[in-house]
Amino acid sequence: MKKEVIKNIITDLESLVKNLKELIKDEKEEKVPKSKELKLEDLRAVLATLSQHGKTAEVKELIVKFGGTKLSDVPKENYSQLLKEAEEIKID
């Protein structure tokens, strides 16, 4: 074979390898679930359930602990920790 043909084959193979690596990378990114952003409504639903089961005092304590006098006052960055602690409250 001529050198030019071999160079073209090498270039094509390198391109193929590059594209296959990108394909694998894309598949890995798709498999990793993106953490769902916790919304006020999601948090409110959990806390409302607790309140309905007689845990209103505990809910109020959590809201104050995480920087609010009402749920909407709580900073977004505290939502996940507040949810975690709310989920630890046992419903009788």
Domain locations along the chain? 1-33, 40-87
- 14-72 pLDDT, tens digit each: 988 888 888 888 766 665 555 678 899 999 999 999 999 999 999 999 999 999 999 99
- 43-54 pLDDT, tens digit each: 999 999 999 999
Give dist(CA 29, CA 23) in Å, integer.
10
Count how many Cα atoms sit within 13 Å of the Cα of residue 46 in the half-sphere of its side chain.
Answer: 21
pTM of the model: 0.60
Give dist(CA 45, CA 92) in Å, integer.
18
Helices in 1-92 by DSSP H: which ranges? 3-31, 40-52, 56-65, 79-87
Residue 9 is encoded by which pair of tokens? 């084959």
Give CA torsion, residues 59, 42, 89, 92, to 10 deg.
100
